[in-house]
Amino acid sequence: MSERRTAGARRYPRSPAEWVAGAILYALAGLSLVLLIGPSLIVIGISFTEKLYISFPPEGFTLRWYEAFLDHDQLIDSAFVSLRIAGWVTVLTLALGITSAFSLVRGRYRGRTALSAFMVSPQMLPGMVIGIAVLFFGSAFGFYQSNPMVIIAMTVFCLPFVVRIVMARLEVLDPSIEEASANLGAARTQTFFRVTLPMILPAALAAAAFAFIEAFDNLTVALFTASPRGRPLSVELYTLVQFDSSPIVAAISSLEILLALLMVFVIGRTIGLEKI
Amino acid sequence: MNATARRAARPSARRGLAEHPLVLAMLSSRGVGPAIPALAYLVVFMVIPFSLLFSFAFLTVDRGEVVPWSFSLEHFGSALGDYLFWRIAWRSFWVGALSTFVCLLLAYPVAYLYTTLGSVARKLLLVAVIAPLLTSALVRVYAWIVILGGRRGLMNTVLLELGLVERPVRILNTDWSVLIGMTQIHLPFMILPLIAVLVARDVEIENASLNLGAGRVETFFRVTLPLSVPGIVAGTALVFALSYTNFIIPQLLGGGNYTTLAVQVYEFVVVILDWTKGAVRASLLLGSCFVFVLLIVWAGRVATRWTEARLS
């Protein structure tokens, strides 16, 4: 990684105005960091409280809210619904995203740039409107809200992440390595499975992590496309947050924060966090 | 016989699928071929549904069934002629704009200081920025309910302890809570594009400015800030679009009757089941959001041209 430091910073003494500006800079950055990390820490703290309602500071230490979650059949079922949905979305987006990324990076045809812009365009669309559009589309053909509908809409929503991450990797990939493989007598398929695929594997893993967590957490798409029965966890939680003040939501939230950290770890280990 | 030898002896074991003409064609293709499945998917499940969504705004839809030959501009007209609609649209706009501005104010220092850090500190900072990004928005909204809510909430406890207020104050279910929630939840989306441009900038230009006798503050405003305009534009456009179209935050942090355009879309589609009105609002929301994003991009271009003209 290239180290860039403001090399001139030390050479000149600071004027009073610069001290003030520096202080403001650090104060704002500090406030941002507190805002970024603080709320998650507070939720994790609350999840261990012994009180029956949300209060701060949390009192005592208990795992009862985690147990309450595990004993809550409806919530556990919805967690599995979410896992299934996220799994399908990951598979679909990877299949569609990796193949199209190859064409978008290596293809030589007119309109390639326009096509790339189109492929990542769902990114500019709010999840809510994607959900509503797919809901209207389905109902026009007699399909109603269901988990397949969530998967279909969510795949539109998550595809840009995969296309972007895999494209970024393919762009820096040196084609001469593959040419070497071909020159050494490997068949095209052999080159692909032994050389190309392993080289884009980190990007594919990172993209999978990203798509999975987005699909698992997403509420805006799911709220419009999920059926009232067998709803995903995000939709269940949405109702729970509105009408229930017990710390069980804090326990589930803490688990989701843990899952997010796991995905950060996966992305950091595969393509590096700078690439997001 | 070891595994490698066995594979060599039976070369056709994995060949069946891998050497299928279709697979071969995709691997060697320099054409549009491999992109076709994704293209088809987006056309069927994005382009057609969105066209349908817009067309619903002109049709009468009864319980999910389109009434034939009911084309009319009246639905748009009645929304645009409604005083309440404009008041709600105005609120959506200023809440989005203000939270975007505060986001920029809070994000820039983080991105700026990021570029002065060593590699370990950079990694830690990125974890602090990206972990919230990957945490569900609902979890983060819930955190703010915990912090801001009620007399026993964290905010009131702290304010009372410090003696800043005498009685518990109400923050949840006001403009403030919506603004705080939007700003905090969209902060990572502002920080990341800013980091991207600030890391890529040429520090030597700043050093030259310092060596030529400009102060650090002057150097920042005349060199660093203009150089980072592309990142500011990207972050601002993204955060504004996200805030403007978010309905979860106003609904949960603004109390039951805090209405923005996005909240109205949700209510018409899911609660009232008036899909025509929902489609009208969704089309207007999307259309106006697009216009605002273009305005932000345009403003960025003007700013860049202006600084370039001043420098030369």
Render pLDDT for A89-102 as a digit per residue (tens, 0 to 9): 999 999 999 888 88
- Across the interface, of B34, B153, B210, the residue whose CB is closest to A100 is B34
Are the beta carbons of A115 and B39 separated by less than 8 Å? yes
Choose the weakest-confidence range: A41-50, A79-88, A255-264, B61-70. Answer: B61-70
- DSSP code of residue B61: E
Alpha-carbon gap, residue A71 to A52, rounded angstroms: 17
Alpha-carbon gap, residue B107 to B102, rounded angstroms: 8
Touching check for A201 and chain B: CB below 8 Å?
no
Touching check for A11 and chain B: CB below 8 Å?
yes
**Average pLDDT over every residue of A71-87:** 89
Share of chain A above pLDDT 90, in %: 20
Residue type, B248: I
Of A54 and B191, the structure prediction assigns the larger pLDDT to: B191
State the pLDDT confidence band at A2, using cuts at 50, 70 and 90: very low
Question: Is the distance from CB of A256 to CB of A86 less than 8 angstroms?
Answer: no
CATH of region B73-311: 1.10.3720.10
In the predicted structure, residue B301 carries a pLDDT above the cut 60: yes
Residues 6+ away with beta carbon under 8 Å from B189: B103, B133, B235, B238, B239, B242
- Helices then strands, counting H and E runs in chain B, come out as 18, 2
**Average pLDDT over every residue of A129-148:** 87
State the pLDDT confidence band at B292, using cuts at 50, 70 and 90: very high
Cα dihedral B67, B70, B76, B82 in deg (nearest 10): -80
Q: What is the largest CA-CA distance in chain A?
A: 73
The pLDDT tens digits for A221-254 are: 998 888 888 889 988 888 888 877 678 888 898 9
- Across the interface, of B38, B220, B266, the residue whose CB is closest to A100 is B38
Among A42, A43, A136, most B C-beta atoms within 10 A, so best to mutate, is: A136
Are the beta carbons of A268 and B286 separated by less than 8 Å? no
Instruction: Respond yes or no on whether ipTM tops 0.90.
Output: no
Touching check for A34 and chain B: CB below 8 Å?
no
Question: How distant is the Cα of A143 from the closest Cα of chain B, in angstroms?
Answer: 10
- Alpha-carbon distance values, B67 to A34, A136, B54, B61, B70 (Å): 53, 14, 15, 6, 6
Q: Measured between beta carbons, which residues in chain A are less than 8 angstroms from residue B112?
A: 25, 29
| Axis-axis angle for helices B275-311, B48-56 (nearest 10) | 110
The pLDDT tens digits for B1-45 are: 455 554 444 444 455 666 676 666 666 667 777 888 888 888 888
Alpha-carbon gap, residue B294 to B129, rounded angstroms: 27
Question: Is the distance from CB of B99 to CB of B182 less than 8 angstroms?
Answer: yes
Residues 6+ away with beta carbon under 8 Å from B209: B218, B219, B222, B223
Tokens of A90: 């990951």
Question: Is the distance from CB of B224 to CB of A72 less than 8 angstroms?
Answer: no
Mean confidence (pLDDT) of chain A: 84
Q: Which of A120, A169, A29 is nearest to B110 (CA)?
A: A29
Question: Is the distance from CB of A266 to CB of A209 less than 8 angstroms?
Answer: yes
- Alpha-carbon distance values, A205 to A91, A94, B215 (Å): 11, 9, 46
- Across the interface, of A22, A103, A213, the residue whose CB is closest to B29 is A103
CB pairs under 8 A between A and B: 305
Bridge partners (DSSP) listed for residue B61: B66
- DSSP code of residue B271: I
pLDDT for the residue B24: 66
Q: pTM of the entire structure?
A: 0.87
**Average pLDDT over every residue of A24-29:** 91
Bridge partners (DSSP) listed for residue B62: B65
Q: How many CB atoms lie within 10 A of CB B77?
A: 11
The pLDDT tens digits for B44-84 are: 888 999 988 888 878 776 666 666 666 777 777 777 778 88
Question: How distant is the Cα of A45 from the closest Cα of chain B, in angstroms?
Answer: 11
Of A188 and A82, the structure prediction assigns the larger pLDDT to: A82
Alpha-carbon gap, residue A76 to A69, rounded angstroms: 7
Q: Measured between beta carbons, which residues in chain A are less than 8 angstroms from residue B113?
A: 25-26, 29
Residue B278 CB-half CA count within 13 A = 26
- Which range of A51-55, A138-142, B165-169, B264-268 scores highest in mean pLDDT? It is B264-268
Alpha-carbon gap, residue B217 to B197, rounded angstroms: 19
In the predicted structure, residue A9 carries a pLDDT above the cut 60: no
The pLDDT tens digits for A163-212 are: 988 888 888 887 788 778 878 877 777 777 788 888 888 888 889 998 99
Alpha-carbon gap, residue B149 to A207, rounded angstroms: 37
Which helix (DSSP H) or strand (DSSP E) does residue B66 occupy? strand B65-66
- Across the interface, of B105, B146, B210, the residue whose CB is closest to A54 is B146
Cis amide linkage into residue A122, ω under 30° from 0: no
Among B32, B92, B135, most A C-beta atoms within 10 A, so best to mutate, is: B135
Angle at the Cα of A165 from the Cα atoms of A160 and A169, rounded to 5 degrees: 145
Residue A215 CB-half CA count within 13 A = 37
The pLDDT tens digits for B172-196 are: 778 888 999 999 999 999 999 999 8
Alpha-carbon gap, residue A151 to A154, rounded angstroms: 5
**Average pLDDT over every residue of B287-294:** 92
Are the beta carbons of A26 and B49 separated by less than 8 Å? no
Among A54, A108, A109, A132, most B C-beta atoms within 10 A, so best to mutate, is: A132
